[in-house]
Amino acid sequence: MSTQEDKTKQNKDISQLEMQFTQDPNSLVFVELVDAYLEKGRMVEAMVMARRGIKTHPKEGYLALARVYMKQSKFAKGIEALNEVIKVDANNAEAFFMKGNLHLKLNENDAAIEALKKAYELDPSNLEAKALLLEKGVNLTPPNALSEGEEEESTEKVAPRKAPSSQKPGMKKKTSMPPRKAPPPTDRPFEPQKTPKETPAEQETGEATESIDVKPQKKITKLPPPTAEDFASTDDILKKDQAKRTMMLIIILAVISAGIIGFIAYTANKAKKIKNFTNIAIENMKLDTYSGYLEAKKALESAIKLEDSGNFKATLGYVEAILFGEYGGDAAMVKAATEHINDAIQKKDNSATLSAAQMLMKIYGGDANSAIQLGKEEVMKGAQHSRLLWALGIALMKVGNYDEATDFIKKAHLSETGNDPKAKDPRSYKIMGDISYKQGYMNQALGQYELALKDNKEHTGSMLGKALILSMDSAKFDEAMKIVDEILKLKAENKLSSREESLAIFVKGVINYNKGNTKEGEDFLNASLALDKDNPMIHFELAKIYANSGNVEKAISSFDNAIKLDPKNPSFYMKKGEFLISKEKYDEAISAIKRAANLMQERDKSEAYVLMSRALRQKGSLDDALKEASKALGINPEDPFAHMEKGKVYLAKQDEQRAIEEFELAMSGFKAMRNKKAVVELAISLGKMHKKNKNNERAEEMFKTAAETDPKLGAEGFYQLGLLYKENKAPKEAVAEVMQKYLEQDPNGPFAQKAKELMK
């Protein structure tokens, strides 16, 4: 089922779908109803409807049931449902892909690889399956790949041409040419003009045969018989005159032939040069790098000097639009792109490349919605060229429609490669990586960037994306810095745009900031901003630095600058809201978080609801806070962050029993996630609550959990354990032992002085 179909279904009213199902319970409308229930968090109804659908439509019913289990994080149950789908339809690519992902959730790598390989075999356009397999180290043999030297048989054959009926007797009949392989459809922008063919006669002489008109001689007056001397003299004259005429004719024919031959040679040489320039342009565009597009621009300009083609102008405009929008081109680049696009329109060019160029100029001019409208109109007309589909995917990503953007980039990849396993397509992989990055799926983004780098090891956009993700992991700082240094070396070779240089310096700033070098990090980020002031990510990172340093005014200003440049990015609003909560600006925080939630897809809104609950709880609106936490759990019933927040609301409402229940559920989830910090925090809170309720055994268990999970983070667990032993009159040695462990882990901590006193 396509993403567009999904979105249409989501827009339908649930009551309308329920009415349709009541009228025709054997129809497939139950699938739409299941998805609608899931969208609203109505899990029980979704489960019931999926099971009812199984009775009449087993395949669709079990697929729907699997989606319900996925929402509930019941991965093993989901796999069981998908196995039922496969029993009914052994070639269901969607079922194998979902099954592979569920096995990964359960850390069942072998089963996951087997399922994902089958999914990729059935649907080679599934880039997520391909990325996951490569991430697992699987050496892919793409489906339907041809062995070396093997050719596909064309389904189209050209019939041999019959000899004309006027063929003369005795002439040999020409042998018919073997069937020619029909070329694949393409939207190539370059088609050099062909020189008109000459007739065979013209090829030999250069022009039609010329006859010489000899004028009739005038009547000669009768003279006396000539002498022998007179006769000899006249004959010589006639011979000389004839020789001159013959020589003149030869010279004329030679001059004409030389002119025609020269023209033919010139035309052939011109066509050869045009073809050479277009090939250079195409190959450099495939690299999808700053230097590649610069070389493509030069080649296209040279081709246009030889042939002022509308299609060449459209392609040049497309290249210049990319140099402007993706590499930080200046006003001169904008002017050049606009002029070449307009020239192509005047020359009646109607290629997909022209539409793509127009779309990119709209996108990078801040009007992505108009670009989407133009792109979809062209697709409706049958346009399937990769350049148009890339532009459409980028536009949809800009407005936050990530699912549909992904669909079009997959189609672009298929159009660009023709499903050829040897074809290279770093652009599709890079855009897919950007889409995943914007959604916060960092591992998935990293996998896509790796695929792009496999196709082009100097693909700077993917190098930067990879470095930025690695800069978020303290264990990968050195690896990220190494990539950044490699990128900056390209500047000396004119292979790095100012925007890419800015991003590389930006990553350096992030790494230094994350290492604790706050001043150096801020300096790098300001240097990055000087090179590319319109990059929202730089403003966003500066906002976080100012927030941590306590500079409220600069932090809010930087958050607002980032939002102004990228108003569709929910992460900016979320971080701004989180910062405002810390400064007790609750109403402003709630406004920012609501904006973030409106930009998110339903499945991602849990995080926004949890943060909203936190703002309302700290504001004192406990009933509203409880509703927001419950909404988060409606999306994901096992979300540990939502359980922890709900527990804090119950604690604020002085309902300790319910708070303990929610904290226990949250801690279980955090243990599965290996989130040590959260486990420690919850364990200490639970220990104190159990101690207050005189449940000393459970309290001791919780304090030990905190200390054992991470002795450094959980140092307070040792201290609280010592207090518990002291109050319950345990041996002094037991108290001294745990207090000593506390002091070893946190010698200058808030309980250090008290711990020393208790050891005496």
3-state SS, 108-147, equals CHHHHHHHHHHHHHHCCCCHHHHHHHHHCCCCCCCCCCCC
Confidence check: pLDDT of 218 > 60? no
pLDDT for 241: 65
- Give the dihedral of Cα atoms 131, 136, 138, 139; nearest 10 deg: 70
**155-169, 385-399, 646-660, 670-684: lowest mean pLDDT where?**
155-169
Q: What is the DSSP letter of 155?
A: S
Rg (CA), the chain: 38
pLDDT of residue 265: 67
Residue 432 has pLDDT above 90, yes or no: yes
Q: Please state, as a whole number, how many other Cβ atoms lie within 10 Å of the Cβ of residue 619.
A: 16
Question: Which tokens is 39 given?
Answer: 């969208």
Tell me, what's the pLDDT at 3?
Answer: 42
Average pLDDT over residues 147-152: 38
pLDDT for 198 beyond 80: no
| Mean residue pLDDT across the chain | 83
pLDDT value of position 184: 45
On the question of pLDDT at 589 being above 60, the answer is yes
Q: Report the pLDDT averaged over residues 730-741.
A: 90
Length of the chain measured in residues = 760
In the chain, the percentage of residues whose pLDDT exceeds 70 is: 83
Mean pLDDT, rounded, for 184-193: 41
Where does the pLDDT of residue 594 fall: very low under 50, low under 70, confident under 90, or very high at 90 and above? Answer: very high
DSSP characters over 188-248: -S--PPPPPPPPHHHHHHSS---PPPPPPPPPPPP-PPPPHHHHHHHHHHHHHHHHHHHHH
Give the residue-averaged pLDDT of 67-84: 90
CA distance 330 to 323: 9
Tell how many helices (H) and how many strands (E) occur in the chain. 37, 0
Dist CA 627 CA 616 (whole Å): 10
Say what the pLDDT of residue 469 is: 92
Per-residue pLDDT tens digits for 494-535: 889 988 999 899 899 889 888 888 888 888 888 988 888 888
Q: Does residue 741 contact residue 718 with C-beta atoms inside 8 Å?
A: yes
Distance CA 332, CA 510 (A): 32
Neighbours of 741 (CB within 10 A): 19
Average pLDDT of the segment spanning 92-104: 92
User: Structure tokens of 308?
Assistant: 């002022």
pLDDT at 201 over 90: no
Percent of the chain with pLDDT over 90: 50
Predicted pLDDT of residue 292: 95
Residue-level pLDDT at 532? 84
CA distances from 56 to 29, 34, 50, 59, 486 (A): 12, 15, 11, 9, 59
Residue 728 has pLDDT above 70, yes or no: yes
Is residue 420's pLDDT more than 90? Answer: no
Tell me the per-residue pLDDT of 302-317, one tens digit each, with 9 for 90 and over. Answer: 999 999 989 999 999 9
Q: What pLDDT score was predicted for residue 111?
A: 92
Token pair 């590499």: residue: 327
Say yes or no to pLDDT of 686 above 50.
yes
Q: In the prediction, which pLDDT does 262 show?
A: 67
Q: Of residues 394 and 27, which shows the higher confidence score?
A: 394
Q: What's phi and psi for 183, nearest 5 deg? A: -70, 150
Asked whether 377 and 350 are in contact (CB, 8 A), the reply is no
- pLDDT attached to residue 744: 92
Higher per-residue pLDDT: 290 or 233: 290
Tell me: the pLDDT tens digits for 327-383? 988 889 999 999 999 999 999 998 999 999 999 999 988 788 899 999 999 998 888
Residue 162 in this model has a pLDDT that exceeds 50 = no
Handedness of CA 350, 356, 359, 361 (dihedral sign): negative
* Distance between CA atoms of residues 686 and 698, nearest Å: 9
Give this prediction's pTM: 0.52
Of 239 and 468, the structure prediction assigns the larger pLDDT to 468
> 203 falls in which pLDDT band (50, 70, 90)?
very low
Residue 261: the pLDDT is 67
Average pLDDT value for residue range 593-612 = 90
Higher-confidence position of 23 and 135: 135
Q: What is the pLDDT of residue 569?
A: 86
Q: What average pLDDT score do residues 202-223 get?
A: 42
